[in-house]
Amino acid sequence: MKEVSLIVKIKPLLFIINDFPLFLEVKPLVTSIHASLCNKIPDFKAGIITYDGIQVGDSPQMVKGRLQLFQESIFFDLQEKELTDFQGIKEWRQVFKAAGTDPSRYRPSAEALYRRIKKQNYLPSVNSAIDLNNFFSLQYEVPIGIYDTDQVSGDTVIKIGESGDDYTGINGRTNSMHNMIASADGQGTFGSPFVDSERTKVTEETKNALQIIYLRPSITIEDGLKLTESLMDMFVQVHGGEATCKVITCKG
């Protein structure tokens, strides 16, 4: 198994103690894949993006318009296609099964979005970060999570959840991560390709964020990196700040 660290640009913090400057270099956030996940899904890959100094607010009209038009396009596609005709939806149902999760009971978040659209229950605008995150998830047909890193405690790991791994989700319910793919930090699990947590959700106060793109296992590392970079560039165009990205895998 290969656990790949995410390398980010770190600006040293300046403190003045007894009139002497003291620079403290902050340890970069590291995201890795746990053996429990690699043992079940050897081809697991994730795009990892860190953002620093972003500004989240009401979505620009361009983002709102694109999100609405894309949802309408998907709605018409779904009049002629089944959900499993979309390759990303199909693959992520298979991933959930391999992880030990029943995809008919716990749906990958991208599939849940498509099912809403099929009923013409279109996604409302939340804020610029969430709206773009939803747009990307629809476009690439994969779950994508975005988290406020100031609410994340230490390094993060993507793993198979154990008994006792649970959190209050943005759906307002306590969600058990047992036998589900989940992201965890020093305080416990906080996200998954099923539903994310209330603790680390992105709001208009968020300045720094971690984005996890749960890539299709079939995608090549090169294509996964291109997808991740493209997503990152558009996010920065809207939110400003600095960003770095990488694809992590189970393979050496």
Higher pLDDT, 247 or 30: 247
User: What strands lie across the sheet with 208-214, from one edge to the other?
Assistant: 144-148, 208-214, 45-52, 242-249
* 169-226 pLDDT per residue, tens: 998 899 999 999 999 999 999 999 999 999 999 999 999 999 999 999 999 999 999 9
Q: How confident is the model at residue 14 (pLDDT cuts 50, 70, 90)?
A: very low
Task: Locate 28 and state its tokens.
Answer: 């970069």
| Interatomic CA distance for residues 202 and 144, integer angstroms | 13
Residue 7 lies in a domain: no
Specify the CATH number for the domain of residue 60: 3.50.40.10
Task: Locate 90 and state its tokens.
Answer: 């199909």
What pLDDT shows up at residue 230? 96
The stretches of 85-171 forming alpha helices (DSSP H) are 87-99, 109-118, 128-140
* H-run or E-run covering 39: helix 35-40
What pLDDT shows up at residue 19? 54
* pLDDT over threshold 60, residue 16: no
What pLDDT shows up at residue 221? 96
Residue 4 lies in a domain: no
Residue 74 lies in a domain: yes
Residue 200 lies in a domain: yes
Instruction: Name the average pLDDT for the chain.
Output: 90
Q: Which domain holds residue 156?
A: 13-249
* 44-97 pLDDT per residue, tens: 999 999 999 999 999 999 999 999 999 999 999 999 999 999 999 999 999 999
Measure Cα distances from 44 to 29, 152, 154, 197 in Å: 20, 23, 23, 22
* H-run or E-run covering 70: helix 61-77
| Interatomic CA distance for residues 154 and 187, integer angstroms | 9
Picking from 200, 203, 236, 197, the residue whose alpha carbon sits closest to that of residue 57 is 203
| Interatomic CA distance for residues 34 and 31, integer angstroms | 10
Using an 8 Å Cβ cutoff, are 99 and 160 in contact? yes
The total domain count for the chain is 1
Residue 38 lies in a domain: yes
What pLDDT shows up at residue 167? 95
